[in-house]
Structure formats: structure tokens, C-alpha cells
């Protein structure tokens, strides 16, 4: 961090010691919430969501799809001998191929995430953990990547509930560092991960270079993209007073402001325009946009909000 932090007052929304930020990610309450999520998500899967994630591709699987005439070159192992015995014709038995679902989670770990109570990063970790847990429970392939200035290689190819501890361990270790470069991270991500899947980007999107290009890289990969936009309560409703020099936590840029009613109004208008612009940009391109603040309980977000938005199925 290049900033001289000594004479810079800690942001009022920085978490004091001893509150949710400093505790272990896997505290009992959190685990309890995850358990609940498991049950709920299973119920959802068993219920109305069944089969929706089945691949359109035919393959070798246990789930029968249909029959078709044998042609030369087909694998004789797939001939339905029972049908041949009855009809004396060669039919192939086709099965639905069950695909591995790749659940990618891309978590912003830049310095700007280190604000709020709890910090946006911790909130993001919780969301990421919850999503990973759900993915693991459903035997999806879970991948967790993080990025700040560039994409960091994270956990790859974890499968099964038993791997949850790795996820938690990994997330625990994450520390806020550096400036965020969403575009670079997304480009790298797109290069690395060619396969289809679900991408959940958890970030505050406070990147001065914009988010459009970054999300276009993901769109180009034809993935199901989910954007979780996390802002802290202090960003939504700043409680600043007086004559201030605002210092950007990431690049050290400063803005001299004197808090006044019109300025706050302008700020809120700008914030609304920013959030609304991101949302509109996403929805118009088939990206599911979810806005949340660090004050919104993440389990509720997962359960209700994500379900409504179709992220959890």
C-alpha cells in the first residue's frame, strides 16, 4: 500500500477489533446457516428444480433418453439387446449425459473491499463460501478465484461436501491487497476457463476503468453470469461531515469536498445512476444482477434473493 496511512484517519466504517470481521469465517453461526442452506437447497433441487441442469448432449449415463436405429460404427455396447430380442432389429439405447456443472466464483479482494462493517470483503467471502457450499453439496465443480490487480489462481476443481473446509480455509486466508483491475481479471479468467458454467462475480465494481469491457469478456464465453454488487452501507448513505479530503484507498487519488446538502444529493444521484447503469447494462445482456449491501444478511441473500434471481436452483 503506497499510501501514508499514518496521517489518514481510518474510515469511519472500518471495523473495530472483535466484531464479525475478525472472527473465523467458519463460526458456528455461519456453519449453522450453511446447514440450513444445505437443507433448503436440497429441497429446492428435489422439488421443482429437478433435471433442469441436465445436459442437452446425449451421452453415457444412467438416465435413459431414447432409442435410435443402429448404424455402422456405433458402439455395440450401447445396443439394446432386449429390443433386438423382441423385434430382431438393432437399436441403440441413448442416455442423457450428465454434465459436470462448473460453479465459478470470482471474488474481488482489492483494497476497496476492505470497508464497511462487516467489510465488503468479508461479506463477499461469506457469499462465496455459501455458494461454494451449495455447489459442493450438489456435487458441482466448484472453482474459487480472486482478483485485485490481476486474477489470482484460487481453488480449482473441488467437488463434494467434504471439501468444504478447503474452501473455508482458502477464503479465510484472503487479505485485501492492491487496486482492482476488473478488466484484466476478467480477460484472464476468460482465457483460462473455456468451459461453460456459472460465473458469480462478487465485487463493488468501483473500478475507474469501468466494468463493461470486463463483463464482455465473460459474455464472450457464453457463461451464465451472475453479478453480485456489494456496497457498504457507508457508501450508500455516507455519513461524512465537514471539509474533507477524500483519499482513494486503492490509487491514492484524492477529492476535496465540503459536505453539503447538494453535494450529498449529487452523490446519491451519482450512486443511483451508477448502480442503475450497471444493472441495466447487465440485464440487457442476460446477466443476472444482484445488488446488496453489507448490511443485508447474507443467508437471506442466498436463500431468498438468489433463489428469486435463479442463481440457486
The cell numbers describing 211, all together, are 466494468
CB 144 within 8 A of CB 117: no
Cα–Cα distances (Å) from 268 to 4, 116, 263, in that order, read: 29, 18, 9
| Residue 6 is a binding residue for another protein (CB under 8 A) | no
Residue 12: name the closest of 83, 150, 106, 117 by CA: 117
Which is closer to another protein, CB of 135 or CB of 238?
238
| Residue 153 is a binding residue for another protein (CB under 8 A) | no
The cell numbers describing 162, all together, are 467434504
| Residue 266 is a binding residue for another protein (CB under 8 A) | yes
Q: How wide is the angle at C-alpha 254 spanned by C-alphas 248 and 255, nearest 5°?
A: 115
Residue of the chain from 264, 285, 291, 307 that contacts another protein (CB under 8 A): 264
Helices 28-46 & 120-137 angle (0-180, nearest 10): 40
Stretch that binds another protein, among 82-90, 186-194, 257-265, 296-304 (CB under 8 A): 257-265
CB 90 within 8 A of CB 79: yes
Residue of the chain from 29, 39, 220, 246 that contacts another protein (CB under 8 A): 246
Within 103-132, the residues that bind another protein by CB under 8 A are: 111-115, 120
Residue of the chain from 130, 206, 278, 306 that contacts another protein (CB under 8 A): 206
Cα–Cα distances (Å) from 251 to 187, 210, 216, 248, 273, in that order, read: 21, 15, 25, 6, 23
Least distance between another protein and beta carbon 232 (Å): 7
| Residue 278 is a binding residue for another protein (CB under 8 A) | no
- The residue count for binding another protein (CB under 8 A) is 49
Residues near another protein, by CB under 8 A: 3, 5, 7-12, 111-115, 120, 204, 206-208, 232, 235, 240-250, 253-264, 266-267, 269-271, 274
Amino acid at each position: 500500500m503506497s499510501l501514508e496511512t499514518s496521517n489518514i484517519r481510518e474510515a469511519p466504517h472500518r471495523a473495530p477489533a472483535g466484531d464479525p470481521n475478525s472472527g473465523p469465517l467458519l463460526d458456528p453461526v455461519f456453519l449453522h446457516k450453511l446447514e440450513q442452506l444445505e437443507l433448503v437447497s436440497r429441497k429446492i433441487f428435489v422439488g421443482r428444480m429437478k433435471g433442469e441442469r441436465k445436459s442437452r448432449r446425449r451421452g453415457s449415463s444412467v438416465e435413459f433418453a431414447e432409442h435410435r436405429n443402429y448404424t455402422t460404427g456405433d458402439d455395440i455396447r450401447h445396443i439394446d439387446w432386449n429390443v433386438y430380442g423382441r423385434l430382431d432389429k438393432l437399436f441403440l439405447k441413448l442416455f442423457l449425459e450428465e454434465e459436470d456443472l462448473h460453479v465459478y466464483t470470482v471474488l474481488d479482494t482489492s483494497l476497496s473491499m476492505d470497508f464497511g462493517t462487516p467489510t465488503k470483503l468479508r461479506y463477499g467471502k461469506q457469499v462465496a463460501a455459501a455458494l461454494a457450499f451449495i455447489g459442493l453439496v450438489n456435487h458441482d465443480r466448484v472453482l474459487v478465484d480472486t482478483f485485485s490487480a490481476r486474477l489470482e489462481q484460487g481453488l480449482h476443481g473441488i467437488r463434494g461436501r467434504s471439501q468444504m473446509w478447503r474452501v473455508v480455509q482458502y477464503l479465510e486466508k484472503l487479505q485485501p491487497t492492491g487496486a482492482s483491475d476488473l478488466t484484466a481479471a476478467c480477460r484472464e479468467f476468460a482465457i483460462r476457463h473455456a468451459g461453460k458454467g456459472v460465473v458469480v462475480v462478487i465485487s463493488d465494481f468501483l473500478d475507474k476503468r469501468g466494468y463493461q469491457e470486463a463483463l464482455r469478456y465473460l459474455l464472450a464465453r457464453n457463461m451464465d453470469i451472475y453479478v453480485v454488487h456489494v456496497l457498504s452501507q457507508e457508501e450508500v448513505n455516507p455519513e461524512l461531515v465537514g471539509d474533507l479530503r477524500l483519499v482513494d484507498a486503492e490509487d491514492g487519488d484524492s477529492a476535496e469536498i465540503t459536505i453539503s446538502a447538494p453535494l450529498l444529493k449529487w452523490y446519491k444521484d451519482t450512486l443511483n445512476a451508477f448502480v442503475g447503469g450497471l444493472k441495466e447494462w447487465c440485464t440487457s445482456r442476460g446477466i443476472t444482477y444482484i445488488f446488496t449491501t453489507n448490511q443485508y444478511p447474507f443467508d437471506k441473500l442466498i436463500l431468498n434473493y438468489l433463489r428469486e434471481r435463479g442463481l440457486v436452483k
